[in-house]
Structure 1
Amino acid sequence: MSATGSVAAVALDGSHRFSKPTADEIRLLAGLGVEGDAHAGVTVQHRSRVARDPSQPNLRQVHLIHRELLDEVDADGFTVPPGAMGENITTSGVDLLALPVGARLRIGDDAVVEVTGLRNPCLQIDGYEPGLMKRMVGRDEQGNVVRRAGVMSVVLAGGVVRPGDPIAVELPAEPHVPLAPV
């Protein structure tokens, strides 16, 4: 089964800042992440996770967020352009949060990422814009926590990714495992 969307924007930052500036293109490196990005590496690069155990595998090499979420919060009065939430790839037309663990996204001509889980939003989101955290985390009708701040992935095949590139979704074999924070 394959659904198709596209890349709305790409971003990277060599420093550990919350937001990432957008770029004309990024290069994904197999097993590492985004070339030149502070979060690229075989082992975990997020500072809080490095402090706990620097030998953990990096399941957060590439952060993706859907443009539709940014449009939704913009309509509610927030100003959240691509890259502002720290994502590397802003997508359009792909329901990222509905994907299962192991879903593969073929992006552009060569790049392939595999979805590992949900981004666990942190309080830095309210530091970016007060009140935004409540839009990124909520509860469903059963009282379960719902995280909306995008998905994390690892790079299976490298390649250059640019705005406008197509995204094809390949689902893993069933049974599908729902996304959980990584």
Structure 2
Amino acid sequence: MGNQGTGRSEVVAVSRDRDHHFSKPVVDEVTLVEGWGVEGDAHAGTTVQHRSRVARDPSQPNLRQVHLIHAELFDELEAAGHSVRPGLLGENVTTRGVDLLGLPTGALLHLGEGACVRLTGLRNPCQQINDFEPGLLREVLGRAADGSVSRKGGVMGVVVAGGVVRPGDAVRVELPAGELEPLSPV
């Protein structure tokens, strides 16, 4: 299951920002810290760091330590007339060759030599995406053929094994045991 598409499953880019900005600058490498998130990123921590969630209850566990987006989304957005590159939507890790949105809750993403992220849910795209680029929200938040809400803004996870992650690193997927539960917004 390590390669769900054609070609190699890999990290395309990594990003982090010490401040709470919508976009994150692309860097050469990030260090994932077990139970914490991306070292030096504003969203790292054991409790919630996203401003809207802190305002509601700052003691909630941080299920959004790492934000991952599949580069195939950028291809889709470009075809719809938008120019989006890694880091611009605020993700920490951009992948290619992994169907992130199709993975179940609890799936493990092994990144590079030793880092591992457990998926906790879907990113719930919000108005900030339209503030970044008008019309982009309707491209990443829509309706599926069955009428359900379709969220394409990436997935969220927590770090279960630390390590350095760089562009070009392999991504290997490990599914959880038992009944698979689809990702839902966190």
| TM exceeding 0.5 | yes
What is the match of residue 18 of structure 2? 14
> Which whole-Å CA distance do the structure 1 matches of 2:60 and 2:51 have between them?
12
Matches within 5 A, 1:51-62: 51-62=55-66
Structure-1 separation of matches of 2:118 and 2:98: 14
Q: Quick one: distance in 2 between partners of 1:159 and 1:75?
A: 35
What CA distance in whole angstroms lies between the structure 1 residues aligned with 2:35 and 2:184? 21
Measured on the aligned residues, the alpha-carbon RMSD in Å equals 0.8
| 1:27-38 alignment, distance < 5 Å | 27-38=31-42
Runs of 4+ aligned structure 1 residues displaced above 4 Å come to none
Unmatched segments (≥5 aa) in structure 2? none
Q: Which runs of structure 2 are paired with 1:124-143 in the superposition (5 Å)?
A: 124-143=128-147
| TM-score normalised per structure 1 | 0.98
**Aligned residue among 32, 49, 52 for 2:53:** 49
From 116, 119, 127, the counterpart of 1:123: 127
Which among 162, 168, 171 is matched to residue 172 of structure 2?
Answer: 168
The whole-number CA distance in structure 2 between the counterparts of 1:66 and 1:141 is 21
Q: Deviations over 1:110-153 (max 9, x none)?
A: 10000000000010000111000000011112211010000000
Letter aligned with residue 177 of structure 2: A
| Cα offset, 1:48, TM superposition | 0.3
Alpha-carbon distance in structure 2 between the residues aligned to 1:140 and 1:99? 17
TM-score normalised to the size of structure 2?
0.96
Q: Secondary structure at the match of 1:63?
A: strand
Q: Which amino acid aligns with 1:59?
A: L
Contact 1:120/1:149, CA 8 A, preserved across alignment:
yes
Residue 74 of structure 1 deviates from its aligned partner by 1.3
Amino acid at match of 2:32: L
Gaps of 5+ in 1: none
CA distance in 2, matches of 1:53, 1:30: 23
Deviation, structure 1 residue 2: 3.4
**2:27 pairs with 1:23:** yes
How big is each residue's C-alpha offset from its partner over 1:61-81, in whole Å with a ceiling of 9 and x where there is no partner? Answer: 000000000111012211101
Amino acid at match of 1:63: H
Please give the alpha-carbon distance, in whole angstroms, between the structure 2 residues aligned to 1:85 and 1:49: 18
8 Å CA contact 1:28, 1:155 repeated in 2: yes
Q: How many residues align?
A: 182
